[in-house]
Every structure is written in structure tokens, then in C-alpha cells.
Amino acid sequence: MTERGTADRPVGATGQERGSGVRLEGVTKRFGEFTALDDVNIDIYENEFFSLLGPSGCGKTTLLRMIAGFEEPTLGSISVSGEAVQGVPPYRRPVNTVFQSYAIFPHLDVFENVAFGLKRSKVAKDEISRRVTEACAMVKLDGYERRKPAKMSGGQQQRVALARALVNRPKVLLLDEPLGALDLKLRREMQLELKNLQHEVGITFIYVTHDQEEALTMSDRIAVMNDGVVQQVADPALLYETPRNSFVANFIGQTNLLSGAAESVEGEKVTLVTPGGTRVEAIAQEGINPEPGSEVHAAVRPEKVRFGDTGDNVCVTEVRQVVYMGVSTQYITELPGGETLVLYQQNAQDSSSFKVGEEVPVAWDARNCLMLGE
């Protein structure tokens, strides 16, 4: 069964545990013989910025659509603020969705776009005016109320879509890759704005993205998905530092994955030998108990590897490629057995530089080398 994802339950300012914003229990979605989601169990808490992260086709958007009410689960249940929502149409659920395409009306100005849902709900004019003004101020669009979308930047149009969703005061805001159409610089600015906005409005945000940097930057917790299955749910630091399996390790940031046979197992410390003969000491995560001789996988992040000959793991490598990256330089090296090892070196004034073809020792500590599950 897929993990529920309740570890490290968030707490509010008073120290009280947060309540449930959205609960997914045994959620499975099939389209004919194709299983898009398989037994998903997640608790998403009130006032949490929660991201669904994974490659295209992993099921994250399908999951979001089921919370919104655009799809119904084949099996399992979905509840919002403790109330079951199966069979409840989208417009009656306490959620709103912001799409990548914005879906704002080009012939209406900002005020009319934001007010659209309120007018359909026959809210009083004075109330509409007050709430639209508040929503525009939330997203820093005060003074733009009578501007048409065609005269606005992509970032401003995105804010209009956010204001239109927030003006209805949903308990949960669903965001389906809303920054995907923006350029890199604006996207990074909007990431910080969205995170600040979520704190200000104090509601649950559920954010879909395939961009791991975006998820790490914005999220309180992240569910990493692949092939319709939740691989791991954790906060960004825990997810990065202690990935549960090889997929999560490779998908969240860059990692060096070393595979081989377990030569010895002493408590949590495992020594593996790669096919090329490199011995690697690693620390097994809780619940991972390899037998000597079994195939195992260990991961060490590039920033945990250093040039030098002091550490639990020391190897002489040959530099194969040098990539200057501004604040750091990436070195792609080759171990004696042919395995690739990547490391970063900060470009400080006293940092050394190495050339392609040069043989240099590298080292890393066993505590930074994690034995992974399958």
C-alpha cells in the first residue's frame, strides 16, 4: 500500500497539530485497462503548501482533477476539511483551480474577470466590489482593475487568475503548473510571491509541477510520484537528504548512484563493491537490511564529494569534463572501474582547478552516502 505521508505532521503557531485539509484514502483511477493512479493515500494539512511532483504522465494532474471534481476515483475516497466530496460537482466543492493557461477572459477587464464567479453566484454588488478590491490587493494588482489582459504581462495575467480563484474564498486552492508559461526569471519571482501569498491568505495550496527546484523552493511538503504511485512524502530537506529509493534520489536534484554487491553489513554500515571493484561505505536507512552478497544501491550528492584523500571513501579519479557554472564548477570524473562520479567545487578565491585528463583523489564520508531501497 502507498504510504499515507503523515510523518512530521505540521503544527500551527500555537503548537497545535493542523487539521486535515484534503485526505486521499486508497485512491485509484483507471481509464479502461490503464491505471493512472494506484492506491494513493495522502493527508494534506490545513494551511499547507503541498506539491505533487513527478515526470509527465505520473498521475499528478489526474489526482488534482479528482480533488477538483473534474474526475471521480475508480476506488477510494477523497475528503476536504473532513467532508467527503465523491459525487459533489466541482462548483459545489470548497476548492478552486488555477490552470497553466490562466483561462481569463480577454474581453473583460481585471475587475470583471475577478468578479465573474461572484456575479454568477448572485453576490450583492457592494460585496462584489469589496471582495474584488481585496483580492486584487492580495496579488498586488490594486490600480489595475480596469486594465484589459492584452495590456498586461504574463506575470500580471497570472495574478489575475489567482485573484479570481481567491475571491471565492476556497478552503483549498489547486494550482496546475501555473508558472509553466513564464520565463525563468519571472517564474522564480512568482515562486516566492506565491509562497508569501499562501502564508498571507492562510489556506491550503496544492501545487502540481514537474520542476523539482520549484517544488523544493515553495513547498512545506512534497509527494514525489511515478507511474501513478506515490514514492515518498516528506518536507524538502528530508526528501533531498534521505530519499527513499533510487527514483526519488535521481528525480530530486542530482545524485551519484553507485550499485554493487554488499560485501559486508555491520549494523547500519554497509560496504558494497561495484562491478568495477570500487569499495563504498554507506549507511542503510531504517528498514533497509541487505544481506551480504545481495545487490544494493547507494547515493551520494555531488556537493558531498570533495577533492582530497581524507574520508571514509577515497578514490583516485580521472577528470573527464569540467563545466563552469558561475558560483561553482562541476567536475565529471571517472572511477577506476569506469563508474562516473560528479562533484561540485565552489569558485572561491582559493579554490583549485583541475583539467580534463588529470588524475585526482576524491573523498566522501559514509554518513553522506545513503543506502537506498528499490
Q: What is the CATH number of domain 20-243?
A: 3.40.50.300
Q: Which residues in the chain are classed under CATH 3.40.50.300?
A: 20-243
**In terms of Cα–Cα distance, which of 49, 51, 46, 52 is closest to 11?**
46
Tens of pLDDT, residues 306-318: 999 999 999 999 9
Domain 254-372: CATH class, spelled out: mainly beta
Q: In the β-sheet with 221-226, what is the strand arrangement from edge to edge?
A: 95-99, 172-176, 204-209, 49-53, 221-226, 229-234
Directed axis angle between helix 125-138 and helix 110-120, to 10°? 130
Long-range contact pairs involving 129-134 (C-beta distance under 8 Å, separation at least 24): 131/167, 132/163, 132/167, 134/167
Residue type, 241: E
Among the residue ranges 52-61, 253-262, 347-356, the one predicted with the least confidence is 347-356
C-alpha grid cell, residue 10:
505540521
Give the pLDDT of residue 156: 87
Task: Please state, for a pLDDT cut of 90, what percent of the chain lies above it.
Answer: 66
Tens of pLDDT, residues 118-145: 988 889 999 999 999 999 988 888 889 9
Tens of pLDDT, residues 140-176: 888 899 999 889 988 888 889 899 999 988 999 999 9
